[in-house]
Amino acid sequence: MALLKGVRRGLDALYLMAGILAALSLIAILVLIVVQMLARWTGEVFPGAPDYAGYAMAAASFLAFANALNRGSHIRVSIVLNALRPGARRILDIWCFAVGTAVMWYFVFYAYRFTFWSWKFNDISQGQDRTPLWIPQSVMLLGAVILAIALTDHLVSLIFKGQHRIIRDADESHGA
């Protein structure tokens, strides 16, 4: 039992850390935009700033997915779930999480291959920054893996405990 509590704390810490990294990526976007504005006002050029901001946006998006899932921030069409009896609701929830988990692990597999081949062929960006593409792709892959783990975590919890671990929004929980 202590092992399971340790795994639970580790997974929750992983999701929180990914959310913090996503927030730091958003701050990086802000800093890049401000520095680029200052550079333009002083007549300087900051080459690659839009590219770096794009990489930070991809990082922010993918790293935030798991934390957003756990906090109920993803869009869930719960009107159907709320209309069903508890047994049918559980079956539909399991089916949805199973499909989501399978699709995400499929995405992770191909994202890994994509990142690997970008590294293997030393693929670089087309912009002024000339960044090796495996670097921003690795952050995307990391976020995808964390989301796949979170979906698997919710699926296992739903199967064995009868409920997922998503914290419901106050507006959504009125119908449940």
DSSP notation for 145-156: HHHHHHHHHHHH
Which pTM value belongs to this model? Answer: 0.86
91 closest CA partner among 151, 36, 159: 159
Q: Which domain holds residue 79?
A: 2-174
User: What's the domain count of the chain?
Assistant: 1
Residue-wise pLDDT for 108-165, tens only, equals 999 999 999 999 999 999 888 889 999 999 999 999 999 999 999 999 999 998 777 7
Whose tokens are 């997922």? That residue is: 164
The pLDDT score that the predictor gives to residue 169 is 55
* % of the chain beyond a pLDDT of 90: 62
For residue 170, pLDDT beyond 60: no
More confident residue, 46 or 10: 10
